[in-house]
Structure 1
Amino acid sequence: MLKKLQTYLLFGNTFCGIEYNNKQTDEIIIKDSFLTMIVEEIVQKLPKKQHVFLVLNNDDVLSKYVWSTEKENNRLLFEAFPNLKINDFYYEINSQGSFHNIAICRKSLVDKLIASYKMQQITIVGFSLGNTMTSFVNNFIEESNYYTSNTLLTKENEAITDVQLIENPLNKTHIINGLEVKSSQLLSFSGVLSHILQS
């Protein structure tokens, strides 16, 4: 109860997610959704000092999908990217059984993007890389194949087993705990959900 009150006092009851991908920026505010590629247009749609969960899912993010019994994150990271200078990159690993979705992005690029929002009085409360956030909605989606803004995901027994980049993915609507969420909004919605659940 105390955590819920603290979250409400800090952030209110409006949550927002932004996804950066190659085609567009897609944001979800619980009561609104819009597409744009320009930070200034995003700022015009949001109230001052709005908090946002950011999903970077463009060409700056490198993703690899690895089948491995390895459990240690550093070893998985170096298995996917053997010569990585770890201090120069942010990374995120979503493991589901032996299938690991590993995404990396240069810290300088992420930090610059976050700073551009800060200059506009938009607070980034968290960020994610690539399609790793799908783990938060995977169990709510009944289909064994589903899309994000740029991928087709396949799952078996509630675990993701394959991720394929798709140039023009279908934009289907999913019902997630009573909310209608389009495939193009799935990553930003997942980011907001992870923030709300404090995961």
Structure 2
Amino acid sequence: MFEKLITYLKFGNQYHGLEQVQINGTYCFYGISLKKKKKHLDVASSFKVEDIDDLKVHIPKDKPVSLVINTNAVLTKHVQGKANESLKLVQLAFPNIKIEDFYFETISNGGHHLVSLCRKSYVDDLLNIYAAKGITIIDFTLGNLVCATLASFVDLKEIQTSNASITIEDKSISKIISKEELVESSYNINGLVIKNNQLLSFASALGLVLKNQTIQASFSDVTNKLETTFNQKRFTNQFLKIGLGVLFAVLLFNFLFFNHYYNEVGTLKETAQVLETSKTNMISLKEKVYKTEKMVSDILKANSSKSSFYVNAIIEHLPNHILLNELNYQPLIKKIKADKVIEMQKDNILISGQTNKGILFSQWIYELEAKPWISSVNILGFEDINRETSNFTIKLNLHGAEN
């Protein structure tokens, strides 16, 4: 009973699965919601949307979601060998990659193994996007490997997902073949009728219930952190609601049955004291906020004209093959703290972005160095993302700056 209560407090009685898939170069999202009734699971709802902003219509805020990343950024290979260690299987399937830059998953069936991987930067950026949209991701998986959760529930030798055909042997996945065009079909899984394009989202939601260990993943620490963060937030909200409910019930009971006791007077005095303390704290906080706002306002007023000039001058002749991610005029040296002087890198501009034309980047640096108001240009970083695109970070030292 206690375990069931803990599970309910953590996840409620609904489990949400979501697949982000890329078909013919176009993104779309397939989702499903499973509702737990005693020992049974029912499909509460399912959906397909083509815009991430539409997900909030189907997935309630602060509800846990298991995500299937099934885009072209995920690579899956079939390898054969006696080794069962995930790291060795990844090295066998992708011998030339820098393995610390990737998240990967593996499943094994005898001497047959399937390996899926994706760049960490891509996955991390995707998780940040979902968080910004109010979608609470607590677990994720790569490609079609999550179908291993369903293998023991179907008696078919082949099933189809949103973009692949999957072969099942001995209750385990033995082969995955990507296909762009698939005929819509449905499967009966323990009495639940699931369409093929909802199969991966269903498997990921089911994984929240079953906690399947068939798939070996390299990012369990990441998913554990996501789940821990979610649990802490949910427990705080749940206990806050329970605490407020209990407090309300106690106060109501006291009002109805013990109104004539003198203790109520003491309680009211204590409440008044707490409110007075809160009022005093609120006034103090308001003063601090006012001082901070004034400080920031003064800084912005002093630098607005200069920053506008520098930004316009940089952007005006920016080459088409250079994309800026950040342009920070006089960046902070340290984080802003209460009652502390704001320290900035005066007469400096920090710029970061991406380029797919190294020659144009070098020419742009040369043009910046020629600006009369720039004393020097320092390249702080230049890193290749892939064969075509590179990240860069440069610092512009303006006249009067200390290099």
In terms of fraction of residues, the more strand-rich structure is 1
Partner of 1:36: 49
Q: 2:18 corresponds to which residue?
A: 18
Deviations 1:107-145 (A, max 9, x none): 111111111121222211100001111111012122211
**Equivalent residue, structure 2, for 1:56:** 69
The Cα offsets for residues 70-110 of structure 1, whole Å up to 9 and x where unpaired, read as: 11111101000112212211111111222211111111111
Give the whole-Å Cα distance in 2 for the aligned partners of 1:156 and 1:198: 22
Structure 1 equivalent of residue 31 of structure 2: 27
| CA deviation after TM superposition for structure 1 residue 37, in Å | 2.3
Identity %: 37
Q: Is the 8 A contact 2:61 2:136 kept in 1?
A: no
Q: Secondary structure at the residue paired with 1:117?
A: helix
**Partner residue of 2:194?**
181
Structure with the higher helix share, 1 or 2: 2
List alignment gaps of at least 5 residues for structure 2: 35-43, 213-403
**Any idea what SS the aligned residue of 1:87 has?**
helix
CA distance in 2, matches of 1:8, 1:179: 22
Q: Partners in 2 of 1:195 and 1:3 — Cα distance? A: 15
1:191 counterpart residue number: 204
Flag structure 1 segments of 5+ consecutive residues without an equivalent.
none
1:100 pairs with one of 94, 113, 132:
113
2:6 is aligned with 1:6: yes
Q: Does 1:77 align with 2:90?
A: yes
Query: Match for 1:68 among 54, 76, 81?
Result: 81
Aligned length: 199
| Structure 1 segment 93-172 matched on structure 2, within 5 A | 93-172=106-185
CA contact (8 A) 1:133 1:190 kept: yes
Q: In the TM superposition, what is the alpha-carbon distance from 1:188 to its structure 2 partner?
A: 1.1
Maintained 8 Å contact 1:148/1:183? yes
Alpha-carbon contact 1:57-1:130 (below 8 Å) kept:
yes
